[in-house]
Amino acid sequence: MKNIISGFGLLCALGENIAAISENLYRQEVWPQYPKDRLESSFAGEYPVFCIDKNIWENKKAQESFSWIFLKKALDEALICAQIDRDSLKNMRVGVCIGTSVDASFNCFDFYRQWIKGEPNISLRPLEKYLKYSLAKEVLKYLNVSGISQTIVTACASSTDAIGIGSLWIQEDLCDIVFCGGADELSIIPYTGFIKLMVASKNACRPFDKNRSGINLGEGAAALVLESEANFKKRKAHKYGFVLGYGTACDAYHLTSPAPDGRGLRRALDFAIKSAKISKDDIAFINAHGTASIDNDLVEGKVYNEILNNIPVEATKSLTGHCLGAAGAVEACLTLISLNNSKICKTKNFQEVDEKINLRPVCKDMHIDNSKAALSASLSFGGLNSVLVLGGQAYE
């Protein structure tokens, strides 16, 4: 597998485009905020989150989801980056594969609240839209093309899987070009849900730190344009990197906790590395799932120590929060930025090694060999583990 990335777009708490995020990734002048203006919850003044800037969504229409607004902006940037004229897509076999969680699951909450209260004359239109809605199909409509489309909902691994599946479509010669990625928004259900699971933190998250106290949620969107080599050469486009490999595995251990032995992650890593046809020596760094939850960091750190020891580890959720279904695509783009800058950023807030893990993530900005590959990992509810192998512009 070696599919070309000819464009990408990104927005998250670090900024609203690739250029701003590429600077802020190393400046790290970002902190979680209290979501009092977005979420009606008694917890909104206790548990901070990483939000998208209000100017992105303040003119949101009633029928639009936050996730769609975020994804549309990331997609517009990716189209410009890839120098794609929408009319030209009509001569290509197009695929769209988008990962999400909240957008596919919790955008009928207002209807449910009205129904449970027994309010009279409730309109069924929100329910009808909910049942028919697909974020991937919205992208097809927006591009005004027909083609393969799939919305992936595998919790925190959703958009990692979307990128992996999209790359397989090209590999199997089903598509010439695939628009893939993910989008998710802050919502009252996951916000209160993570708090009640007792894995949310009242402070800024500290991935892999001995004194970590849980996650901060985040939101965002990322869009990548993947192309076959033949289509890329025909368009004479610019190259930003490669999707080199993809692996996924389910440990089937618990609804919310990873298997303590890390067997699912081990298999996903093995599948991804083998599909990329690389060895451990070809890996420049790992962008870890790194949520700062007690169990997740423990398992993830142990696996890296045992099978990928001495490879630098970064945890970008310390800068973006956990963007749920969008997390994998957001982190894939951050991984690509790091590869193309030949530099990975420090893991913010890390101070003390946890002796149970014995893993120290990168604690200061570090130069890397940009001709090597990088791993981007997602560990999800339901025991799902997915890994991408990415190469930058200089990958050999």
Active site residues: 156, 289, 322
| Cβ proximity of 50 and 38 under 8 Å | no
- Reading the block at residue 146, the tokens are 């027909």
Cα distances (angstroms) measured from residue 172 to each of 150, 166, 228, 244: 16, 10, 10, 14
Helix axes 158-171, 327-341, angle to 10 degrees: 70
Q: In whole angstroms, what is the distance from residue 383 CA to residue 377 CA?
A: 13
Residue (of 167, 172, 142) closest to 152 by Cα position: 167
Return the axis-axis angle of helices 327-341 and 18-27, rounded to nearest 10°.
80
Complete edge-to-edge strand list for the sheet that includes strand 177-184: 147-152, 94-99, 177-184, 220-227, 3-11, 241-250, 384-392, 373-379, 283-287, 313-314
| 337/25 Cα distance (integer angstroms) | 9
Supply 291's token pair: 């949520």
Q: Count of CB atoms within 10 A of residue 231's CB?
A: 18
Q: How many CB atoms lie within 10 A of CB 323?
A: 32
Question: Which one, of 240, 222, 184, 207, lies nearest residue 330 by Cα?
Answer: 222
- In sequence order, which residues have a C-beta less than 8 Å from that of residue 161 and are 6 or more positions away? 99, 152, 154, 248, 328, 384, 386
